[in-house]
A and B are shown apart, each in its own frame.
Chain A
Amino acid sequence: MTLAFTICSINYLAQARTLGDSLRQTNPDWHYVIGLVDKLDRANLPSSLLPDYPLLEVDQIDIENFTGMCDRYDITELNTAVKPFYIDYFFKHHPEATEVIYFDPDIIVFQPLTHLKQHLSEYNMVLTPHICQPINDWLIPNELNHLNTGTFNLGFIGLQKTEESNRFVQWWKKRLVNECRIDLCNGLFVDQHWVNFAPVYYDRVWIEKHPGYNAAYWNLHERFFAEQNGIWRVNDTADLQFFHYSGYGVHKPEEVSKYQNRFTFQDRPDIIPLFKHYHQQLLDNQNETYRTYSCFYIKPPKTLYYQKVRRTLKSPLDALISVLENR
């Protein structure tokens, strides 16, 4: 059995449901679980808003030192840090799941993923690089951004349950307990940058360059879309497998993604129907209601008082650092 899952908070359940609906349509024999970084009883979600898919709350998967992670991380960091912990949980508690596949909630699947299943029978892991063709400009995101944040996009990872992939998951978990931060100067970008090591440390990691996988704003320069007889094709050569609507918001429908400045819908009329379709699905799945729920794990913003005192205390230390660094 193939187990697919996503991770989100209640405010993103419209996305998670949309993903689930697309999987149900295209891969009906897969089991789909929503990992919820939130607390249902605290949110008091009316039953009409409960998705038709199993929800697995993050405090139910036996994460050792979960409180510590909650303290250390902001909501984005926490949502990404728990990914390998969910995979580990599924490996342990769902012995029938021979493959475990993670999708970001803002993905929808367009085809039966038989090609993926084939690769997961031959390889321990399947990863998708952000770019399979060079980017010849320095708009955002460019190659330097990818160097800082990770070669592979961790909005998707497929794992066959093997000893080798379990070793990878245990290593990844260990790193994400303390270092799932964004700190580019120190080589950190949440869970994603770490996975650069996967093909180095572990054997039989498949780097998937099929243009129909994980299509998103970061690879639009190399992928063009067209609908032919009801099937979405990429570059006229392959069927679109899954599209990742990263950074798209129903409330900014004129923007391809808030994380990029390379493409507009005007330049890329080919993607307009893909986004219109998604937009409508989110509305149908009650995005407007879900988005008002604030996550249980969000910490109140900290106001740092006494800035002047802090500056006075800091300045001799900064001076000393500078002396030591410059000899």
Chain B
Amino acid sequence: MITFLTVCTIRQLPQALALGESLQRHHPSDSFVLGLCDDPSHLPTGFTIPYPVILLSALLLPDQDQLSQQYTPAEFVAACKPLFIKYLYSNQAEDTWLVYLDPSVYLYQPLTDLQSRYADATLLLTPHLLKPLTDNAFPDEKHVQNIGLYSSGCIGLRHTAETTRFLNWWSSRVPERAFARPCEGMYTDQIWLVLTPGLFESVTIAKNPGWHVGLWNLHERPTDENSLVFLNYKGIVDQEGYFQAQTRVKISAYPAIQKLRNAYQSRLRQFDPGANLGSTTPAYGLQPFKPPLKGWRKKTVETLRETVQFIENVDIPRNMK
């Protein structure tokens, strides 16, 4: 048995419900649990979530106000995510799988490899990239290092003593250090995963190209329906995440993905007909989110920075004659 979990704000509920729907189709005998990282009193009146829900209050965060104060909404969710996972994991039986998926994930095929190919993994990670980049688009490999090589949008955890050790470590590091601050080695809950192949046994890198396709790897992944297993619409249908500023792929160049996206968007509308959910401001994470620079603004800033750097470092002999 697999237990799937997502963690979302009310604004992301339509996505989470679409994920639930795709899981019911492809994993009908497995369960899906939703961690609501928001204030449940902000739910539209009469709205009920058709899945078991873990409320933020169940995590008993001792410093919730402080965390809300210091983080952006996305950082706040990232800070709490390991605790939601740990909460659910602690009720799971030995050897069963718990799979965290971003609310923006949608399944097109079941994760059959999980219990065969990856049966011995403790922790299963999906890399953003499987192959070296060969262009100069943004972000390149050094930028990916800033945010972590493994996406935290999909994490497989098989219940073992080693996985418990990982969760205890991760959930003790992340809540206080979920800032998006690359200069300080921090990037949400995600960058920490880079250390796990060294720190824990049987951490497995899932190199299945049909798994976890997204804005960051469309250029190297199959998009046909036979190969695509799950897609993360983060940054494709919303303004979430680091990769919304990417310049590598244009969805319009991938007709198969475009078609899927249109179908996905219509599912989102069906789950939120009055757009009441999608317009709910997250209750926690009070710092304003500064969206990454894009387009001409980004190019201009880069050129200006280069000029500043030139002025700072150009060698001018003292006595020019």
User: Which A positions have Cβ atoms within 8 angstroms of B?
Assistant: 129-134, 143-148, 151-152, 171, 175, 179, 184-188, 193-194, 196-197, 199-201, 207, 209, 302, 304-306, 310, 313-314, 317-318, 320-321, 324-326
Q: Is the CB of B307 within 8 A of A147?
A: no
Which of A171, A193, A302, A317 has a CB less than 8 Å from the CB of B145? A193
Give the interface centre of B191, B195, B198, B308 by most chain A CB atoms within 10 Å.
B198
Known: A187-B142, A187-B145, A200-B127. A310 touches B311 (CB 8 A): yes
Known: A200-B149, A314-B308. A147 touches B301 (CB 8 A): no
CA gap between A304 and B300 in the complex, in Å: 26
Q: Is the CB of A185 within 8 A of B301?
A: no
Counting contact residues on chain B (CB < 8 A from A), the size range is 35 or more
Which of A132, A144, A199, A317 has a CB less than 8 Å from the CB of B185? A144
CB distance from B254 to the nearest CB of A (A): 23
Known: A187-B144, A200-B129. A207 touches B301 (CB 8 A): no
Q: Is the CB of B293 within 8 A of A147?
A: no
List chain A residues, Cβ under 8 A from B205: 199-200
- Residue B60, interface by CB 8 Å: no
CB distance from B22 to the nearest CB of A (A): 27
User: Which B positions have Cβ atoms within 8 angstroms of A?
Assistant: 127, 129-132, 141-146, 149, 169, 173, 177, 182-186, 191-192, 194-195, 197-199, 205, 207, 290, 293, 297, 300-301, 304-305, 307-308, 311-313, 315-318
Name the CB-closest residue of A to B313. Answer: A304
Give the interface centre of B145, B185, B301, B313 by most chain A CB atoms within 10 Å.
B145
Q: Is the CB of B198 within 8 A of A151?
A: yes
Q: Is the CB of B198 within 8 A of A197?
A: no
CB distance from B207 to the nearest CB of A (A): 8
CA gap between A13 and B312 in the complex, in Å: 36
Q: Is the CB of B131 within 8 A of A201?
A: yes
Q: Is the CB of B143 within 8 A of A186?
A: yes
Known: A196-B145, A199-B205, A200-B149. A171 touches B132 (CB 8 A): yes
CA gap between A317 and B293 in the complex, in Å: 17
Which of B198, B297, B304, B316 has a CB less than 8 Å from the CB of A207? B198
CA gap between A245 and B177 in the complex, in Å: 31
CA gap between A318 and B199 in the complex, in Å: 42
Known: A187-B145, A196-B149, A317-B304. A145 touches B185 (CB 8 A): yes
Name the CB-closest residue of B to A133. Answer: B199
CA gap between A187 and B129 in the complex, in Å: 16
Known: A144-B185, A325-B301. A209 touches B198 (CB 8 A): yes
Give 11 pairs: A residue, B residue, CB < 8 Å, sorted on A: A129-B195, A129-B199, A132-B199, A143-B195, A147-B194, A179-B142, A200-B127, A201-B129, A305-B317, A320-B304, A324-B297
List chain B residues, Cβ under 8 A from A179: 142
